[in-house]
Amino acid sequence: MATTEETLPEDGAATGAPARPDARMPAWLPRAMVLALALVACFRLATWAFDQLTGLLLNLLIAFFLGLAVEPAVDRMAARGVRRGVATAVVFLGILVAVAGFFTLLGSMLAGQIVTMVDDFPKYLDQVIRWINATFHTELSRVEIQDSLLHSEWLRKYVKDSADNVLDVSAAVLGGLFQALTVMLFAFYFAADGPRLRRTLCSMLPPHRQTEVLRAWEIAVAKTGGYLYSRGLMALISGVAHYVLLESLGVPYAPALAVWVGLISQFIPTIGTYMAGALPMLIAFTVDPWYAVWVFGFVVVYQQFENYLLQPRITARTVDIHPAVAFGSVIAGTALLGAVGALIAIPATATLQAFLGAYIKRYDVTDDPRVHGRPRRERRASVLARARGALVRRG
């Protein structure tokens, strides 16, 4: 039986493809891989740096708008021959003195009311116990309640947790003070060196861009001032409304409490309303526990009135933006940046809207009832009048 020797072809002869002894990796592929890895590393580094610097960027944003708010006062003093640094220092010193005096007055008032409330707490507790016994036919006593509270497990746990969190609270307070000082320092530089900052920015732009930047800066100053004016007006209305309530209930320190509610509720976003309402409720409780309930209900109702009726209308007049846009900008700012976003959302939106409005070409609106909002009956009457006129002309 004959055997045939089978030999395997070398290289690519088995498939019929020509041999490629010089086949190797393309020269551009290593460079492309290195470039891709470098881009990924740069992106990760930029993301990490942005996360680390988010707090600083937010402080700079707050300081920028604060500098815009005080710049008109600084400009007026500088126009009278005062150096900008001195004028800015005087403005910020006045703000700090006013804030410190206000909180000192409230602190002394609150301390006195806390002492009064602690002294009268047994009396209030007896009143609550008598009401519970008369309503639910129970036989509670203050001594039994005090003993159960003092020996309760949750009170021991609360005291232990409070003692463990003292260091965290102290660190948070120091961090807040440092953040406030950082904002004040940057705001001082923004207001004092405003012309120099604008010169530096304009020196990097062509002449036609410089005009746009200066116009945008001027719009930002105007809108920020209008926003602060609207906040001050709403603080005045809120203070008057709460003063009437507190005075009618006979709550002590009604004028100081009204000023507290007006300022805190307007200039501390999101949680300012609840912080503002807590102090009047506490002091009203020292007079009558039911007065605290009345104050709480009034704060809730007034907040809804302010959010949906008062604030959009005042903001539309002072900042010149639509109420729906103002309301939506606050919601969007809160979602993006939290309390900081809620605070600067309206002036930022108003500045952007005014700046873009100058570059949007507008046309004359046609005389149509659907555009000008005339009632549908007038529209039908005008259509009938035109039809009659056409018939008369044909006749």
Q: For a pLDDT cut of 90, what percent of the chain falls above it?
A: 12
> Residues 192-205: what's their mean pLDDT?
87
Closest CA to 283 of 251, 237, 323: 251
Q: How far apart are the first and last CA of the chain?
A: 119
Q: C-alpha angle 149/154/155, rounded to 5°?
A: 50
- Calculate Rg over the CA atoms of the chain: 35
Q: For a pLDDT cut of 70, what percent of the chain falls above it?
A: 81
Place of tokens 């001027």: 218
What is the secondary structure of 251-267 as a DSSP string? Answer: -TTHHHHHHHHHHHHHH
- Which of 86-90, 109-113, 263-267, 335-339 is the most confident on average? 86-90
Closest CA to 61 of 336, 307, 281: 336
CB 342 within 8 A of CB 333: yes
Residue 379 has pLDDT above 60, yes or no: no
Residue 1 has pLDDT above 50, yes or no: no
The residue ranking higher by pLDDT, 242 or 168, is 242
What three-state secondary structure class fits 159?
Answer: helix
Cβ neighbours of 131 (radius 10 Å): 11
The residue ranking higher by pLDDT, 123 or 8, is 123
Instruction: Categorize the per-residue pLDDT at 46 as very low, low, confident or very high, splitting at 50, 70 and 90.
Output: very high
The residue ranking higher by pLDDT, 77 or 109, is 77
Closest CA to 299 of 263, 266, 274: 274
CB 243 within 8 A of CB 254: yes
> Residue 88 is encoded by which pair of tokens?
């800015």
> Residues 366-372: what's their mean pLDDT?
69
CB 251 within 8 A of CB 287: yes
Q: C-alpha angle 306/307/310, rounded to 5°?
A: 45
Largest CA distance in the chain: 126
The pTM (predicted TM-score) of the whole model is 0.65
- pLDDT value at position 90? 93
> Residue 303 is encoded by which pair of tokens?
């907040």
Q: What is the DSSP letter of 52?
A: H
Cα within 13 Å of Cα(240), Cβ side: 5
What is the secondary structure of 100-140 as a DSSP string? Answer: HHHHHHHHHHHHHHHHHHHHHHHHHHHHHHHHHHHHH----
> Residue 222 is encoded by which pair of tokens?
């105007």
Q: Of 67-76, 176-185, 348-357, 371-380, give the lowest mean pLDDT range.
A: 371-380
